[in-house]
């Protein structure tokens, strides 16, 4: 079984896509604007000018929506978008300053969603300081005629997602809610990919702990893997309730027809949370088993030390008696007294040694 697992891990590593952690290329629209596009009836329309111009164009026609993508904007850079799209100040503050808890909140007719993006950090061997899960943040403002995405971190680019949606006009025709669902679906799919990759590390740690290569320092690797798994749990766990709300209750601007799609995302998220809980419980068991092995090893070492101390105590005691320099000592004047005492000590040591070996102490 361990051989099959190693072969499986090698195949997965060979076909695992490389993760690009570099910043995306900026568009000519500005230092933080990744893209600004107008969609009408599911089709991408030409948009010349600023985001405000695009929004006026959409509202003038009375259909379609604007999708603006931003990357790590400052307060000053985002202030113009907040005013143009009428965003709530509390949501704006959360979007500019990262490190928010995953959530979905309503501000008037706008939904504000916070997602934690996750990526698996490949490594040759898990150590006590290895980074396994790297996280970022993705904020999504969903209004009746606009979607604004704000990304923090070096990964979680929405370019491939935008291109995939553009190949499915019927989905984009459902409005901004379809974009929110697509983003949530991609984020959860990324969680599942990270969880599958973490399983390889869990299997590797398990194989090492229950093999002859187990070392006392393995507890640090197990604890580090639990810490990294906690990052994934913090990203996925809080999302279950808000996404379930979108799947069961109508929340404009999300089209009611999108609710079954959100239920599918929730199903994946529930399975993911169960998978993470299973990994965490398994790592607890592995850690306890490893600590038990360390305790057994320490007890074996203490038995050996005690056995050798008992063996050495015999000649030490005899030599201590003869070292007292009493005048009347047994066989003190006898020619063969010295060899006799040495023979007695050697015989006693051999008998005690064999007794300890028979009982498994040596």
Pick the closest to residue 185 from 251, 140, 132 (CA basis): 140
Q: What band does 23 get if pLDDT is binned at 50, 70 and 90?
A: very low
Buried b (16+ CB within 10 A) or exposed e, 78-92: beebbebbebbeebb
Task: Determine the pLDDT at residue 11.
Answer: 45
Q: Is 51 exposed, middle or buried (0-12, 13-18, 19+ CB in 10 A)?
A: buried
Task: Determine the pLDDT at residue 93.
Answer: 93
User: In angstroms, rounded to a whole number, what is the distance separating the alpha carbons of residues 233 and 237?
Assistant: 5
Task: Determine the pLDDT at residue 5.
Answer: 46
Query: What DSSP assignment string belongs to 78-108?
Result: HHHHHHHHT--HHHHHHHHS--PPPEEEEET
User: In angstroms, rounded to a whole number, what is the distance separating the alpha carbons of residues 351 and 310?
Assistant: 12
Is 175 within 8 Å of 255 (Cβ atoms)? yes
User: In angstroms, rounded to a whole number, what is the distance separating the alpha carbons of residues 61 and 59?
Assistant: 5
Q: What band does 189 get if pLDDT is binned at 50, 70 and 90?
A: very high
Q: What band does 141 get if pLDDT is binned at 50, 70 and 90?
A: very high
**Token pair of 184, please?**
């949530």
- Is the pLDDT at 282 greater than 60, yes or no? yes
Q: What band does 192 get if pLDDT is binned at 50, 70 and 90?
A: very high
DSSP, collapsed to helix, strand or coil, labels residue 346 as helix
| CATH among 3.20.20.10, 3.40.50.10260, 3.40.190.10, 3.30.460.20 for 2-293 | 3.30.460.20
- E-strand spans in the chain? 33-40, 43-45, 65-71, 103-107, 110-120, 133-142, 146-152
The residue with tokens 């164009």 is 57
Task: Determine the pLDDT at residue 16.
Answer: 41
The answer to whether the pTM exceeds 0.85 is no
Q: What band does 212 get if pLDDT is binned at 50, 70 and 90?
A: low
Cα-Cα end-to-end distance for the chain: 33
Mean pLDDT, all residues of the chain: 83
- Is the pLDDT at 10 greater than 80, yes or no? no
User: In angstroms, rounded to a whole number, what is the distance separating the alpha carbons of residues 247 and 249?
Assistant: 6
Which pLDDT tens digit goes with each residue over 294-312? 777 777 778 788 888 888 8
- Is the pLDDT at 9 greater than 60, yes or no? no
| CATH among 1.20.58.340, 3.40.47.10, 3.30.70.141, 3.30.1060.10 for 296-358 | 1.20.58.340
Query: What DSSP assignment string belongs to 1-31?
Result: -HHHHHHHHHHHHHHSPPP--SPPPPPTT-S
If one compares 11 and 285, the residue with the highest pLDDT of the two is 285
- Is the pLDDT at 217 greater than 70, yes or no? no
**Token pair of 54, please?**
């695009």
Question: Which of 1-15, 31-45, 75-89, 199-213 has the largest mean confidence?
Answer: 75-89
Pick the closest to residue 187 from 263, 116, 258, 243 (CA basis): 116
The residue-averaged pLDDT of 249-273 equals 90
The residue-averaged pLDDT of 29-36 equals 66
Domain with CATH 1.20.58.340 in the chain: 296-358
Domain with CATH 3.30.460.20 in the chain: 2-293
**Token pair of 121, please?**
């950090």
């Amino acid at each position: 079984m361990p051989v099959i697992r190693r072969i499986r891990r090698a195949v997965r590593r060979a076909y695992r896509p490389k993760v690009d952690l570099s910043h995306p290329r900026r568009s000519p629209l500005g230092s933080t604007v990744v893209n600004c596009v107008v969609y009408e009836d599911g089709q991408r329309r030409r948009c010349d000018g600023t985001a405000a111009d695009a929004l006026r164009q959409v509202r003038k026609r009375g259909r379609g929506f604007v999708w603006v993508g931003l990357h790590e904007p400052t307060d000053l850079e985002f202030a113009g978008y907040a005013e143009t799209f009428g965003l709530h100040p509390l949501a704006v503050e959360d979007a500019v300053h990262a490190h928010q808890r995953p959530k979905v909140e309503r501000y008037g007719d706008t939904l504000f969603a916070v997602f934690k993006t996750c990526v698996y950090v490949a490594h040759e061997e898990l150590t006590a300081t290895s980074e396994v899960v790297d996280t970022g943040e993705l904020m999504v403002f969903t209004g009746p005629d606009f979607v604004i995405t704000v990304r923090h971190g070096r990964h979680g680019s929405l370019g491939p997602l935008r291109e995939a949606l553009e190949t499915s006009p019927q989905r984009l025709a459902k409005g901004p809610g379809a974009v929110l669902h697509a983003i949530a679906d991609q984020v959860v799919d990324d969680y599942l990919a990270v969880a599958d990759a973490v399983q390889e590390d869990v299997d590797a740690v398990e194989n090492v702990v229950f093999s002859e290569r187990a070392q006392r320092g393995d507890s640090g690797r197990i604890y580090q893997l639990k810490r990294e798994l906690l990052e994934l749990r913090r990203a996925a766990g809080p999302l279950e309730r808000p996404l379930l709300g979108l799947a069961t209750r109508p929340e404009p601007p999300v089209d009611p027809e999108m609710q079954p799609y959100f239920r599918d995302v929730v199903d994946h998220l529930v399975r993911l949370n169960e998978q993470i809980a299973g990994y965490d419980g398994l790592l607890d068991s592995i850690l306890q088993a490893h600590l038990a092995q360390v305790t057994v090893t320490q007890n074996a070492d203490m038995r050996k030390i005690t056995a050798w101390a008992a063996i050495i105590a015999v000649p030490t005691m005899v030599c201590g008696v003869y070292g007292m320099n009493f005048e009347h000592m047994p066989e003190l004047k006898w020619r063969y007294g010295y060899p006799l005492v040495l023979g007695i000590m050697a015989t006693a040591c051999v008998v005690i040694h064999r007794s300890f070996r028979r009982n498994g102490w040596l």
